[in-house]
Amino acid sequence: MQKKVFLKTYGCQMNEHDSERMLSILREDNFISTNIKEDADLILFNTCAIRDHANEKFYSHISEIRSLKINKPNIIVAVGGCISQVEGEELLKKYSYIDIAFGPDNLDNISAMVKKVTFNNQNNQNNQNNQNNQKKQKREKIFDNKYDNSPLYSFKETKFVHGNPKAYVTIMKGCDNFCSYCIVPYSRGREKSRSVDEIVSDVKRLVEFHGIEEVMLLGQNVNSFGRKNNEGKDRKDNSNENFVTLLTKLEDISGLKLLRYTSSHPRDVSDELIAFHGESKKLADHLHLPVQSGSNKVLELMNREYTVEHYLSIVERLRKSNPRIKVSSDIIVGYPGESESEYEDTLKFLDQAQFDFIYSYAFSPRPRTKAFELPATLTREQKLKRLRHLQLHQISIQEKVRKEMVGEKHVILVEGRNSKFDQSKSQNESNKSNGSNEPKETSLMWRGRASNLRIVHFNPFDSKRDFNFLWKWVEIKITSSTAISSKGQLIRVL
Ligand code: SAM
Ligand code: SF4
Ligand code: F3S
């Protein structure tokens, strides 16, 4: 019998891929996805604990499930991911209607856990139907947040049914870096890498049988891939499995067109990797390299183990190796003890680094981490003020940096139609000159991503107005650019 799962995912790409893996497993048990909670047999949350805001979002959503469970008592409510790993037991106590709480290392057991609860529900039902036993049965709950201690880090193939040529491939799990502010080492456990052979055969399978052309390799610190082998132990020095050897083997897979990876730790970016960015035909012209702060003192407090100077030298060498590469980053403002002048150092650092874009956050104290114990030196409002100012500063840098793209030719993978209206400044201005205050409808436009990750919009040729560009690779000449996106002229469909 067909059953329905409502799945809500929070957090990073790793969580998004974990959700795909769970769906792939559940599909074998006849589950299909639904967007309507009320229709579901299984409600599954894949949670994120990285900042307080992520926690709050989940806690508000789980509270809404209460009334659903009253009306439909046999609906199964399962909570996986990083919140469940670190506070799953409390969750089960606090919310009587949650049936299953499990951590990221246990997601492969999703099918068995759901089957067990279904079996218990049916047993309870049968017992209650039995005239001799009118007593209400106690629901059994499942809690599993054991870290994976198996000798191998290996998992079943993920079967993609999303119908697009992009796929995530997890190459390693966990994190051993213990940055002072970060919960990930507690929610994802110790670092372990999959074997090169398993990853290569996985990617070959995706290319051959699932039409995948672009792969994003995932790990919290992919630069240390292979440092801990798939048994979770330090590799012997004679091991030749490192991130560059993996990339070299993936590069040879025919049919694979574009390789991306995230996330990188600046301490572990090797000279070989920098050189490979220049040599590779498939590696994207983009690197996301989180720096976190532009002050050496704050970096030390954060336990990042590199300096601003080291970071800038990596970026300089990368740009020499591949002149088309764009670099993006993560910044945290308001770390405990960050003075006004250290914050200003980060603004100056942004001027030096000339990032293509940044993700920026106000420091959020996470229980269990070292920084949680530190006295707060700024109020929430002060942190948000620094954050807003930093974001505006970066936008002004971005506006300048992205103008340099005008006149260049780029290959993009088309991801969909433009949103209904183009609300960019240039469009509004051209409408005003037409005497109209309404944004012009530009729904004929398409949108895609260049190898450097920038979003590019384009109009089809008149002869190709009805052509379906979705998931096609096209060549575009860039005609204008704002801090957020670019526009171009279609040259050809590849
Ligand atoms: N492993 C990656 C790295 O080292 O860059 C990504 C870690 S995390 C999933 C993504 C980003 O969240 C981090 O780079 C950091 O900027 C931010 N972050 C992590 N913990 C935070 C905290 N407690 N408060 C604010 N931002 C945080
Ligand atoms: Fe968190 Fe640092 Fe690990 Fe990234 S490297 S996941 S920021 S502990
Ligand atoms: Fe969040 Fe866990 Fe990713 S805390 S950012 S879902 S690793």
Assign residue 222 the CATH number of its domain.
Answer: 3.80.30.20
Ligand 1 centre distance from Cα of residue 179 (Å):
9
What mean pLDDT do residues 145-157 have? 81
15 lines ligand 3 (CB under 6 A): yes
> What are the distances in angstroms from CA 363 to CA 50, 186, 292, 331, 371?
10, 18, 10, 9, 10
For the CA of 176, the nearest atom of ligand 2: 3
Please tell me if the CB atom of residue 185 comes closer than 6 angstroms to any atom of ligand 2.
yes
Residue 251: Cβ-neighbour burial (10 angstroms; 0-12, 13-18, 19+): middle
Say whether 360 sits in a helix, a strand or coil.
Answer: strand
Please tell me if the CB atom of residue 23 comes closer than 6 angstroms to any atom of ligand 2. no
Whether 246 and 286 share a structural domain: yes
pLDDT, residue 280, reads 97
CB distance 326 to 289 below 8 Å = no
Q: Is the CB of 366 under 6 A from ligand 1?
A: yes
Residue bearing the bigger pLDDT, 431 or 114: 114
Dig out the tokens for 317 from the structure. Answer: 């060498």
Other Cβ atoms less than 10 A from the Cβ of 64: the count is 9
Spatial separation of the C-alpha atoms in residues 351 and 296, rounded to whole Å: 16
Q: Please give the model's pTM, rounded to 2 decimal places.
A: 0.92
**% of the chain exceeding 70 in pLDDT:** 90
50 CA closest ligand 1 atom index: 20
150 falls within a domain: no
Neighbours of 413 (CB within 10 A): 21
What is the percent of the chain with per-residue pLDDT over 90, rounded to a whole number? 80
Cα(211) to centroid of ligand 2, in Å?
33
Check whether residue 419 and residue 381 sit in a common domain: no
Q: Taking a C-beta distance cutoff of 8 angstroms, is the pair 345, 294 a contact?
A: yes
Position 418 confidence tier, pLDDT thresholds 50, 70, 90? confident
Q: Give the model confidence (pLDDT) of 359-417 as tens digits.
A: 999 999 999 999 999 998 899 999 999 999 999 999 999 999 999 999 999 999 999 99
| Count of domains for the chain | 3
The verdict on 419 and 277 lying in the same domain is no
**Residue at 157 is within a domain:** no
The contacts of residue 298 (CB under 8 Å, 6+ apart) are 292, 335, 337, 338, 342, 346
Pair 396, 275 in one domain: yes
Q: How confident is the model at residue 437 (pLDDT cuts 50, 70, 90)?
A: very low
For 388, the domain range is 166-403
Task: Give a yes or no: residue 273 inside a domain.
Answer: yes
The CATH number of whichever domain residue 110 belongs to comes to 3.40.50.12160
Report whether the peptide linkage leading into residue 263 is cis, meaning its omega lies within 30 degrees of zero: yes
Q: From the CA of 11, how far away is ligand 3's center (Å)?
A: 5
Q: Is residue 161 part of a domain?
A: no
| Residue 159: inside a domain | no
55: Cβ below 6 Å to ligand 3? no
Cα of 162 vs centre of ligand 2, distance in Å, is 29
**What is the position in ligand 2's atom list of the atom closest to the CA of 220?**
6
In a domain, 151, yes or no: no
| AA letter at 97 | Y
Closest by Cα among 38, 172, 186, 46 to 110: 46
pLDDT band at 97 (very low <50, low <70, confident <90, very high): very high
Ligand 3 close to Cβ of residue 187 (< 6 A): yes
Average pLDDT of the chain is 90
The stretch 421-447 carries a mean pLDDT of: 49
One domain for residues 103 and 71: yes
Among 186, 209, 26, which Cα is nearest to 113's? Answer: 26
Q: Does residue 155 sit within a domain? A: no
Q: Beta strands of 372-484 (E only): which ranges? A: 409-417, 446-450, 455-459, 473-481
Give yes or no: residues 426 and 396 share one domain.
no
Determine if ligand 1 sits within 6 Å of the CB of residue 51.
Answer: yes
Write the secondary structure of 217-244 as one string of H (helix), E (strand) and C (coil). EECCCHHHECCECCCCCECCCCCCCCHH
- Same domain, yes or no: 330 and 396: yes
Average pLDDT for residues 328-354, to the nearest whole number? Answer: 98
CA of 5 to the centre of ligand 1 (A): 30
Residue 389 sits in the same domain as residue 315: yes
* Cis upstream peptide for 193 (omega within 30°): no
Helix count and strand count (H, E) for the chain: 13, 19
Are 426 and 472 within one domain?
yes
In-domain check, residue 154: no
pLDDT at 438 over 50: no
Q: Which residue has the tokens 């909670």?
A: 37
For ligand 2, atom 1, name the residue with the nearest CA: 182
Is any atom of ligand 1 closer than 6 Å to the C-beta of 81? no
Q: CB of 49 closer than 6 A to ligand 3?
A: yes
Claim to verify: residue 185 and residue 329 sit in the same structural domain: yes
Burial 129-141 (b: 16+ CB within 10 A, else e): eeeeeeeeeeeee
Gap between the Cα atoms of 162 and 182, Å rounded: 32
Contact 264, 290 (CB under 8 A): yes
Give the mutation target among 13, 85, 178, 182 for probing the ligand 2 site: most ligand atoms within 8 A of CB.
182
Rounded distance, CA 239 to CA 237, Å?
5
Question: 50 in ligand 3 pocket by Cβ < 6 Å?
Answer: yes
The domain boundary, picked from 374, 403, 432, lies at: 403
Domain termination site, one of 360, 387, 403 = 403
Name the amino acid, one letter, at 41: D
Those residues whose C-beta lies under 8 Å from the C-beta of residue 350, and which sit 6 or more positions away, are: 294, 331, 358, 390, 393, 394, 397
Say if residues 50 and 82 touch (Cβ distance below 8 Å): yes
Reference 229, options 261, 203, 190; nearest CA is 190
CATH number at residue 455: 2.40.50
Q: Is the domain of 252 the same as that of 371? A: yes
User: Which is higher by pLDDT, 226 or 149?
Assistant: 226
179 CA → ligand 2 middle, Å: 6
Ligand 1 geometric centre to CA of 182 (Å): 6
Give the three-state DSSP class for 345: helix
Q: What ranges in 38-143 are assigned the alpha helix state H? A: 52-71, 82-94, 110-129
465 C-alpha to center of ligand 3: Å?
A: 41
**Are residues 341 and 221 located together in one domain of the fold?**
yes
Relative to beta strand 326-333, strand 358-362 is parallel
